[in-house]
Amino acid sequence: MQAASQRTIAAPGAPLPSRRERHSTVAAASRNATEAAHPAAGSLDRRTFLSAAAAVAVTAAWQAPALAIQGLVAGRIPGVSGPDDEGNMTYTRPEGKSGGHGVGWSEIQRYSFKVPQSWQEVPVSIADLGGTEIDLRYNSADEGTLQVVVAPVLRFKDVGINSNITVEDLAPPENLIAGFAPELFGVPLNEGDVLDMQVVQKDGLPYYIYELTRHRLVTATATGNRLYMLAVRCNSLQWRKSGDKITKIRDSFRVPPKVDA
């Protein structure tokens, strides 16, 4: 696995903005058309957070395979393989999985991450209270919880339907985490919540890596016209026992870059 350059960005001194999460159900039959023509209500707030970011030139060419298929199967489809030498399973998003989006979505890359064997997938659906952008949940009573959010960038940034963007095209790290913290954790981001932010390259894609207070870890990247975020959290006791496992989950998250046709 490639992990090229890495730079640390100081947390902003001013209070970060907050956003109220929407909990609307979106009809699935014509989902892609709806994303472009009728953005969800919460997208207006996201534009406030993210429109301040200066656009960065889109990476010209991708080297990895696309591996992007979104089928018509709702509910939970197992996607784990392994374990490896450290006892971790590898979760790879199955072809045909719909997550909490309903059917009809397209161009969802087959992201992957490492997860301990004791963790269990928690089924999500279009009725999930976390919103229709929740793609996956995992849980361990002893070690913590994680979720993956897949968000169409058309809901909060004006780009072409067939755009191929990176996370740096959307917003700087501090704006992105401020815009999505309510969705990921149920509360706005407060001043001082960001302990560390980094930008790391994996397979030609930039990733934003965050450590927040209260043992909340996040990674985010974007390719095609989707933003992908993995958030994992635990309590203080779990962190003392399994903090290294929580960190490995976050750092193992990878999304195959979309290859333009």
Is 118 a domain residue? yes
In terms of average pLDDT, the best of 81-90, 129-138, 248-257 is: 248-257
Give the count of beta carbons closer than 10 Å to the beta carbon of residue 152. 26
Q: How many domains does the chain have?
A: 1
pLDDT at 88 over 90: yes
Is 257 a domain residue? no
pLDDT digits 0-9 by tens, 96-105: 776 555 544 5
Classify burial at 222, counting beta carbons within 10 Å of its beta carbon; exposed 0-12, middle 13-18, buried 19 or more: buried
Is 13 a domain residue? no
112 three-state secondary structure:
strand
pLDDT at 28 over 70: no
Percent residues over pLDDT 70 in the chain: 64
Is 4 a domain residue? no
CA distances from 218 to 72, 102, 159, 229, 252 (A): 29, 25, 25, 7, 11
Q: Residue 9 forms beta bridges with which residues?
A: 197
What is the predicted pLDDT for the residue at 24?
38
User: What is the dihedral sign for C-alpha 101, 104, 106, 109?
Assistant: positive
What is the predicted pLDDT for the residue at 261?
64
Is 63 a domain residue? yes
Is 93 a domain residue? yes
Domain of 102 in residue numbering reads as 18-252
The CATH number of whichever domain residue 181 belongs to comes to 3.40.1000.10
pLDDT at 16 over 80: no
Mean pLDDT of the chain: 77
135 three-state secondary structure:
strand
pLDDT digits 0-9 by tens, 29-59: 334 444 444 444 444 455 555 655 433 333 3
pLDDT at 91 over 80: yes
What is the predicted pLDDT for the residue at 155?
80
Is 228 a domain residue? yes
pLDDT digits 0-9 by tens, 104-150: 456 689 999 999 999 999 988 776 666 679 999 999 999 999 999 99
- Kindly state the tokens that stand for 81: 């393989």
List all residues 6 or more positions away from 128 whose beta carbon is below 8 Å from its beta carbon. Answer: 100, 134
Q: What is the pTM of this model?
A: 0.73
Per this entry, what is the length of the chain? 261
Is 11 a domain residue? no
- Kindly state the tokens that stand for 18: 């907050």
- Residue pair 113/228 in contact (Cβ under 8 Å)? The answer is no
Reply yes or no: is the peptide bond before residue 39 cis, omega within 30 of 0.
no
What is the predicted pLDDT for the residue at 125?
74
pLDDT at 229 over 70: yes
pLDDT digits 0-9 by tens, 150-178: 999 988 788 877 889 999 999 999 999 99
pLDDT at 66 over 90: no
